[in-house]
Structure 1
């Protein structure tokens, strides 16, 4: 077979090497392509190897009338190996050009993998800047869960809503789409005048020129890609700065603003309670995005600005998503198999709130969860597939683990663990093994000997005990 035929059956990265996919000169081959995927035990194709993203600067233009998105992603990253090529995750959309450190780079698509071949190889440790220009109609991504949940780019009555857990962010920008690679973000969005564009972090500027308005948002603290969000539409936006807390910014679709007001007013109170239980708040703002039912079918803990459909915008769910700002957003799992570190903690936060304000002891919530058979389908630390990463055991058996821990070590040590865990891993990633090791050290220092049943039965065990 000729050389071109051979190239068609090889991987994109190898093909680029054979064809000399860069401008000018020969190819320096001291590096090798970064891996396509980080070998996540549940989502094998997500993420990429060979580099660590430091910052995303996204410049977007969106027209709701045509559902057309035009974007420029400027990605600053550090090479973790000698790189001849690297991958970005991108679903749909058309790549118009790519450049690395100001020089044109070859870009090759294979499904959701965009392989970029720089003009010259990148040395391990080098910080480099990739610019990808892209456009098109962003798409919905359907999860493999039993509800066939939709994420990615969801069109709404007057705009769009972008939500990303677990894989949806690649529907609107290219990146290293795995929780293990967190970065800071600047997201600048231009939309028709009269619409709002709401994202994570703080609004740094808003300017109108002609019939278009541009909003610039900055997330100064690291964020996993699945936690990035963008809401475009007619929103009632309110800002406040409580004396003892972060800035509160809420965006509520005008059609549900009146019905949402009572729950929105609870944000400062919930934040004060959460800080008392979980420690210093890790971000500089908090808030909520509330949309009509049907635009999204679930609430999501998008960083600093959780998203809620109206039917789930209640006190219990608000407590859950605010707790995620500590557990899941600031302390983010190393892999999707560690999801219980997000959902078990946020669910237990609901139980603590009910104990403190609703007269329902956490033990009562624990017993109700124990009796529910769907919570025993698998161990919380071992979801068997990507389709089950958000199933009941991850939430409720995860919360049961924390309740049993609280019973073993007592309230004082338990809350020291909750706050210390969030503080020690702030803005980082952690695994289940990291958590159990941390707990055992803290318990030992406090003179508490943990029963191995705590982990063997409640965290890793498959069988339901005879008694709670």
Structure 2
């Protein structure tokens, strides 16, 4: 018997306030954010407000919004009156004098100011990035995945709720600079005080952490493909380089459309925006900082050479438009839904361009990056992500699912249906399991539990004696019964191992060396005796 691994970790009231779903959060549903701010690069400060439109789902005297405790709440106004509030860590509990009665639409204005946290090493830790370009002009961005969008603007900081009707992001910056945010540019206005405000609108639901600002002396390149506007904002002087290097975009969009469905945010365009940090999947405004190199900063994470055939950041972060931005996990404990499927999308891109064998070589090259340090799924309700294995092990889990299905004429429609069924939806790990169980007509729950909730790689034990092959799963959860493809004397055979040894006659002349489990299709280890 193998117990499900649970990491020993303690959590605080602060964690549960940020990650939990208490009545102050669940009794209302955000409809829209209208953000209007000014960013002062010299002071590294923000001042402005967010109009938060929301639908009451039940009567409540108070709601929880969020803003990091180092930022100031200047006032919160509702129905032309200032509302009282109480701060606890990063949570802001807003009180309505007569309460909110029943259901209905409401809007409040949250004024705030302060100096947001500066990232030490974006995008791996959350915060702002303040740099200078080669012409000594300000080059500013922000990345807050996991840390929380309330690091820099007030919101309901939970992946469980997105503004259903989109958002506007209006950002004033010093003249001579431009701000690029999500969605489409509505226009700009010279404020006659040394600042120009750039107004952007998002028409689709959007994750809080995807809302972004990018401030620099940008040049704009425009193109179209398959009815999608392609907009590239690059540092001035990099136009020619970008025009050539961003050639991966069109074949990527074609590939992903064929496998995952049409681009989810055509209303808001597709953008790459050059940033001073490596990258982030900011919806319809992908942060690009891979320095116009192939691979991952010029290296191949798969160590196969295949990863140097394309720009990792373009393909990976674009894959998030389908998995992470369109399909979003309700709790960050299930972030493997974002990262596992997105890393698998890299192999899909390789397969579209270079074929199945190249894709299998690439994805299996990622196995050496798996740490098995802790389970992929984190702790729910406390803003806790699981292991970084959500990337590599998560992708290899999806590859394993493909080969459990064992028929690409079923697998690709199944993956397409998954993407389209949950397009622009917020889901949980259980949603994923139920979907693939139903569509595959198999109980895959033990497979998901094995790879997501334990740190153990299942071991297929093979024993050959006097023409009889014994086989069984070891190092696996009770009930783990994943089918396995094995080449026996040159022929493909599907075995159905369990924790109990099973046997088959293979002939006394057969050697153990003539029995080869297809480990490139399934994430397993093998022991022969």
TM-score tier after normalising by the smaller chain length: 0.7 to 0.9
C-alpha contact 2:123 2:280 (8 A) present in aligned 1: no
> 1 or 2, which has the higher helix percentage?
1
Which residue is equivalent to 1:78?
55
1:336 paired with 2:311, answer no
1:289-344 CA deviation, whole Å, 9 max, x = no partner? Answer: 122xxx32x42111011112234576222111111101110110011111111101
- How many residue pairs get aligned? The number is 416
Q: Which runs of 5+ in 1 are unaligned?
A: 1-34
Q: Which residue of the other structure, out of 329, 346, 351, is the alignment partner of 2:347?
A: 351
Aligned partner of residue 205 in structure 1, secondary structure: strand
Query: What is the DSSP-based 3-state SS (H/G/I as helix, E as strand, rest coil) of the residue aligned with 1:222?
Result: coil
For residues 265 and 116 of structure 1, the distance between their equivalents in structure 2, rounded to whole angstroms, comes to: 49
- C-alpha contact (below 8 Å) 1:37/1:48 kept by paired residues: no
Residue 463 and residue 174 in structure 1: after superposition, are their counterparts in 2 closer, same or farther (change >3 A)?
Answer: same
**Structure 1 residues 234-249: aligned runs within 5 Å:** 234-242=217-225, 244-249=226-231
**Structure 1 residues 335 and 85 mapped into 2: Cα distance closer, same or farther (>3 Å)?**
same
On the 8 A contact 2:332/2:378 being kept in 1, the answer is no
Greater Cα radius of gyration, structure 1 or 2:
2
Q: Secondary structure at the match of 2:30?
A: strand
Shift of the alpha carbon at 1:391?
Answer: 4.3
CA distance in 2 between partners of 1:79 and 1:118 (Å)? 13
Cα distance in 2 between the residues matched to 1:351 and 1:250: 25
Post-superposition offset of 1:203: 0.9
Whether 1:287 aligns to 2:271 is yes
TM-score normalized by the length of structure 2:
0.72
Structure-1 separation of matches of 2:157 and 2:29: 11
Q: Are 2:161 and 1:181 aligned?
A: yes
Report if the CA contact (8 A) 2:67-2:151 is conserved. yes
Match of 1:57 in 2: 34
Following superposition, the deviation at residue 347 of structure 1 comes to 0.5
2:411 alignment counterpart:
414
| 1:87 Cα deviation after fit | 1.9
Distance 2:120 2:205 in 1: 27
For residue 131 of structure 1, report the CA deviation from its aligned partner: 0.5
2: CA distance, partners of 1:215 / 1:76 = 21
The equivalent residue for 1:9 is none
What TM-score do you get using the length of structure 1 for normalisation? Answer: 0.81
- Runs of 4+ in structure 1 off by over 6 angstroms are 383-388
The alpha-carbon deviation at position 394 of structure 1 amounts to 0.3
Partner of 2:182: 200
Instruction: Give the SS at the match of 2:351.
Output: helix
1:128-207 alignment runs, 5 A limit: 128-140=106-118, 149-157=124-132, 158-183=138-163, 184-207=166-189
Q: Is it true that 1:463 corresponds to 2:470 in the alignment?
A: no
Alpha-carbon distance, 1:382 to partner = 4.7
Note closer, same or farther for the CA distance 1:434–1:451 as it changes in structure 2 (3 Å cut). closer
Report the 3-state secondary structure (helix = DSSP H, G, I; strand = E; otherwise coil) of the residue aligned with 2:313. helix
Query: How far is 1:168 from its partner?
Result: 3.8
Give the secondary-structure state (helix, strand or coil) at the position aligned to 2:420.
helix
